[in-house]
Amino acid sequence: MNTFADFGLEPKVLQAITELGFEESTPIQAKSIPVALTGRDLIGQAQTGTGKTAAFGIPLINKIPTSEDRIVALIMTPTRELAIQVADEIGKLTRYKGLRSLPIYGGQEIGRQIRALKKKPQIIIGTPGRLLDHINRKTIRLDDVQTVVLDEADEMLDMGFMEDIQSILKMVPEERQTMLFSATMPVNIQKLAQQFLKDPEHVSVIPKQVTAPSIEQSYIEVHERQKFEALSRLLDMESPELAIIFGRTKRRVDELSEALQKRGYSADGLHGDLSQNQRDNVMRKFRDGSIDVLVATDVAARGLDVSGVTHVINFDLPQDPESYVHRIGRTGRAGKEGTAWTFVTPREIDHLHFIERITRQRMNRKPLPSIAEAIEGKQRVTAERVLEVVQNEEFAEYKAIAIQLLEQYDSVQLLAAAMKLLTGEKKNVDIELTPEEPLRAKKRRPDIRSNGRPFNRSGYSGGSRSGSGGGGYRGRDDKRGSYGSGGGSRGGYEGRSGYGSKRSGEGRTENRRPKSPSDDFVNN
């Protein structure tokens, strides 16, 4: 068993880890924490949801003296919500040590950030655009930074942030420790590594496939026009605890979340054109369970850790295999199980097979759920709800009326009628979504798992950690689990638009993703 005590960490850091409920280190933590503690540069790769945040967070926190009052550590993330989430986890890990960490991201009032910076945080977690903004205003100085982490490094590169990262790292002393982390390491990450890292140690825990082992992956072949019906049936059949549905464009996300609401689902949409306030609100509602379906663009694909997400549905096929890996990785986290469904139109089937080849993981082909299956799913949920009330004996005040009714009517008829009311009929509104262009198949390219190096077989077994649960779908109450970081009350977001925040105000979008097929997509 790999306990955190073996790393020789400070007692106060150890205490915070214990409080988070982490009993054993995950494989990526076990391998990278000792390396990071030596001060070496590091490239860390491990499947989604396996604790990479703590893998860089713990050693980073451990080495900062409490008396420090300069910015000595910088963590960069591709999106606003990830900056907030990582800051949240870092905050929890520094609870007893008493370090100060601060998220810095576009969309938030800059004056507020400047005031917070006056409190002399030692750790900054930020998105590139807003960081540069502060550097230019001289409200952030990086002259004393000793540790830099690029979380989701490949994504930042992919989005065209190389220049911004270069400009930021020019402000950081050469004498420093630099770490890159992601679940996917395409070959072009080497370029970034060569420029910014010195003789890095590669720490990779990718056993067989890059997708997390606890996610069941299926696809349904469906025509563009059938997609919404397929989605409704799927949601009814599966009745997810919490689900994230990915759409290709902002328009798609808007239309789809509105359509789901019209049909009576508790859904809301998230993309980069919403104001920061709207984004925060949607994330807060999703994290606290007041909505159970989040419809999002790829802005929500990376790093987001919301415990209780049982399902990911790709309403539109993802652009590339990396996006697929990260999208479905929003479920099946920390050893829990998850289910991923992907809709594919007949013309896109080659693209789906391309994703399968690159991820070396086959998806199960499933038929469109039938109306009967959808109804059955809904009835099952109603029955479960009824039985829960029965078991908890939460019905005392209804007993008298029940007895009265049973004197006049048949018990089966009564229960069936009550269940019908409880199940609720889905509103029969017509839904027309604007069709999306199909994606074209791509040529095969190098493996995304291994960064061109022989991959590591020693790795991750998925179920080996204690405290990581495992048995399938949890009840609502368990949603926050014991993993900690999913329970943060804040939920911010940074759309792709947020990157350009140094040049743009809130909500403005910039095309910085070179390979995107349409403006709609890049502005996600």
Ligand X SMILES: Nc1ncnc2c1ncn2[C@@H]1O[C@H](COP(=O)(O)OP(=O)(O)OP(=O)(O)O)[C@@H](O)[C@H]1O
Q: Which of 267, 309 has the CB closer to ligand X?
A: 309
Q: How far apart are CA 25 and CA 2, in angstroms?
A: 6
Contact 439, 517 (CB under 8 A): yes
Residue 324 Cβ vs Mg ion, minimum distance, rounded to whole Å: 16
Per-residue interface string for the shown chain with ligand X, residues 145-184, x marking contact by CB under 6 A: --------------------------------------x-
- Could you tell which of ligand X, Mg ion, none binds residue 26, using a CB distance below 5 to 8 A set by kind? ligand X
Q: How far is the CB of 470 from Mg ion (least distance, A)?
A: 20
Using rule CB under 6 A, residue 321 touches ligand X? no
Question: What's the closest the beta carbon of residue 302 comes to Mg ion, in angstroms?
Answer: 8
User: CB under 5 to 8 A by kind: which of Mg ion, ligand X, none does 50 bind?
Assistant: ligand X
* Residue 183 site contact among ligand X, Mg ion, none (CB < 5 to 8 Å, cut-off depends on kind): ligand X
> What DSSP state is assigned to residue 466?
T
- Letter for the amino acid at 231? L
- DSSP label of 516: -
Nearest approach in angstroms of CB 108 to Mg ion is 21
The 454-473 contact track toward ligand X, x by CB under 6 A, reads: -----------x-xx-----
CA distance 172 to 118: 20
The C-alpha atoms of residue 460 and residue 26 are separated, in whole angstroms, by: 8
Q: For residues 2 and 465, is the Cβ–Cβ distance under 8 A?
A: no
Of how many residues is the chain composed? 524
Give whole-number Cα distances, 435 to 97, 252, 325, 428, 438, in Å.
53, 9, 24, 21, 9
Q: Which two tokens stand for residue 129?
A: 């655009």
**Which is nearer to ligand X, 31 or 134 (by Cβ)?**
31
| Min CB(11)–Mg ion separation in Å | 26
257 binds, among ligand X, Mg ion, none (CB under 5 to 8 A by kind): none
Listed in sequence order, the residues at least 6 apart from 383 whose beta carbon sits closer than 8 Å to its beta carbon are 419
Binding-residue pattern over the window 178 to 217 for ligand X, x denoting contact by CB under 6 A: -----x----------------------------------
Q: CA 134, CA 129: separation in Å to the nearest integer?
A: 9
CB of 65 to Mg ion, least distance (A): 26
3-state secondary structure at position 325: helix
Determine the Cα–Cα distance for residues 141 and 168; give it in Å rounded to an integer.
Answer: 10
Q: What H or E segment, with its residue span, contains residue 46? A: strand 42-46
What does 329 interact with, of ligand X, Mg ion, none (CB < 5 to 8 A by kind)? ligand X
Strand ranges in 257-391 using DSSP code E only, listed in sequence order: 267-270, 293-296, 309-314, 338-344, 364-365
Q: Could you give the string, one character per residue 38-67, with x where binding to ligand X holds by CB under 6 A and - elsewhere?
A: --------x-xxxxxxx-------------
Residue whose CB is less far from ligand X, 54 or 220: 54
Minimum distance of ligand X from residue 384's CB (angstroms): 26
Residues that bind ligand X (CB under 6 A): 22, 24-26, 29, 46, 48-54, 183, 303, 305, 307, 329, 333-334, 465, 467-468, 483-486
